[in-house]
Amino acid sequence: MTYVDPTSPELLADDEGPQRATFRDVVMAYVGLTKPRVIELLLLTTVPVMFFAARGVPPLGLVVATVIGGTLSAGSASVFNCVYDRDIDEQMRRTRRRALPRHIVTPAAALVFGVVLGVLSTVVLALWVNPLSAVLSVSANAFYVFVYTMLLKRRTTQNIVWGGIAGCFPALIGWTAVTGELSWVPIVLFAVVFFWTPPHTWALALRYREDYAQVDVPMLPVVKSARVVALQIVIYSWVMVATSLLLWPVASTGLLYPIVAVVLGAVFLAQAHGLHRRAKTSDELSVLQPMRLFHSSNLYLSLLFVAVAIDPLLH
């Protein structure tokens, strides 16, 4: 999926006043509210689990329905997040070009859009997948909006640790879409994503810690030194890699998955320890280079779940 940024400079007000947004501008603004890049990552942990649950290729219609329902649900949660956080988004460099801070879309219109997406996702999953998957999707949506966005994000340094639970649900939804029930296998994959989220998010927060400090969002890199944050990243990374290896005995996978998990885990741990070593010498971004770990974390999760999908095809 190609992501088109609806917040490009062409849509900003010029020196003579605000420019009139075109129909395409508005459409792309609504697309941007759903955070397509986040959706891509969530679907990446949904579809491979469906392959693993089916021990092969799942029915195409079921995959399509799950992807559509999951996309609508994740998009709905992101829209609600954008509506609630529009005040701080307007002040942060990373987010001030979003549709709401730039007044391309009104909060009321965005709220209606989010509700419509949420209702459609629930209908699609309930009718064409199964009720359990629909319930899990609604639960993930509600957790992200009410627990993370409204309760935790602006109050505690543990915001993304516990708030990140919402991003773990796709593993459960992918499994239940095929089997209609839960088991230890998706719970292990749920835990992998849970322990992956802090290193992934804290690396990004190190890069934008001044933004978070400006709006009083207590991300860990805002209230703790880079050295402390990097140590936490190392700890979570080790637990994540150990958890990923649990899938081998729990699910009786073939050899492909544990080999890939070990190799990817070793690379990830090397990146995490590298960040920690650099953090011991300086807090400067030019020295820390936290985005190296951030991009590596995306690659790690992507390839690990690709291995989850391919392993049963070979086993």
118 and 76: one domain? yes
Give the span between the Cα atoms of 269 and 82, in whole angstroms: 33
Mean pLDDT value across residues 101-112: 94
Tokens 């095809």 -> residue: 313
pLDDT tens digit string along 73-95?
A: 999 999 999 999 999 999 998 88
22 and 110: one domain? yes
Q: How many CB atoms lie within 10 A of CB 207?
A: 17
270 and 124: one domain? no
174 and 188: one domain? no
Mean pLDDT value across residues 11-18: 42
159 and 201: one domain? no
The CATH number of whichever domain residue 9 belongs to comes to 1.10.357.140
141 and 274: one domain? no
- pTM for this model (two decimals): 0.91
pLDDT tens digit string along 270-287?
A: 999 999 999 999 989 889
Mean pLDDT value across residues 154-176: 96
Number of separate domains in the chain: 2
pLDDT at 19: 60
CB-CB contact of 76 with 121 (8 Å): yes
54 and 128: one domain? yes
Give the span between the Cα atoms of 268 and 38, in whole angstroms: 21
For residue 194, what pLDDT band results from cuts at 50, 70 and 90? very high
Last residue of a domain, one of 179, 208, 226: 179
278 and 170: one domain? no
252 and 170: one domain? no
169 and 190: one domain? no
Show the domain range for 16. 1-179
